[in-house]
């Protein structure tokens, strides 16, 4: 298992959030609550063949 720390932002309040990404799983999607505003953030992650980490955050109902 390879863990990487990545920064993103909360789509509700705009606060910077820190996420730990397991790069051994190619496609991931999970929900994590913002530490500041407590709203649910959907986090989508894709690990490319070059091992680049593509990440997006969005509101739960988008």
What sign has the CA pseudo-torsion 49, 2, 13, 58?
positive
pLDDT of residue 62: 84
Q: Which domain range does residue 16 map to?
A: 3-59
pLDDT of residue 53: 95
Q: Which residue has the higher pLDDT, 62 or 36?
A: 36
Enter the pTM of the model: 0.84
pLDDT of residue 15: 97
| Number of domains forming the structure of the chain | 1
Condensed to tens digits (0 to 9), the pLDDT of residues 22-54 reads 999 999 999 999 999 999 999 999 999 999 999
Locus of tokens 């929900």: 31
Burial state string for 3-40 with b = 16 or more CB within 10 A and e = fewer than 16: eeeeeeebbbeeeebebebebeeeeeeeeeebeeeeee
């Amino acid at each position: 298992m390879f863990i990487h720390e990545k920064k993103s932002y909360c789509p509700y309040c705009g606060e910077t959030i820190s996420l730990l990404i397991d790069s051994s799983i190619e496609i991931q999607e999970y929900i994590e609550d913002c530490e500041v505003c407590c709203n649910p953030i959907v986090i989508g992650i894709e690990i490319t063949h070059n091992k680049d980490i593509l990440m997006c955050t969005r509101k739960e109902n988008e």
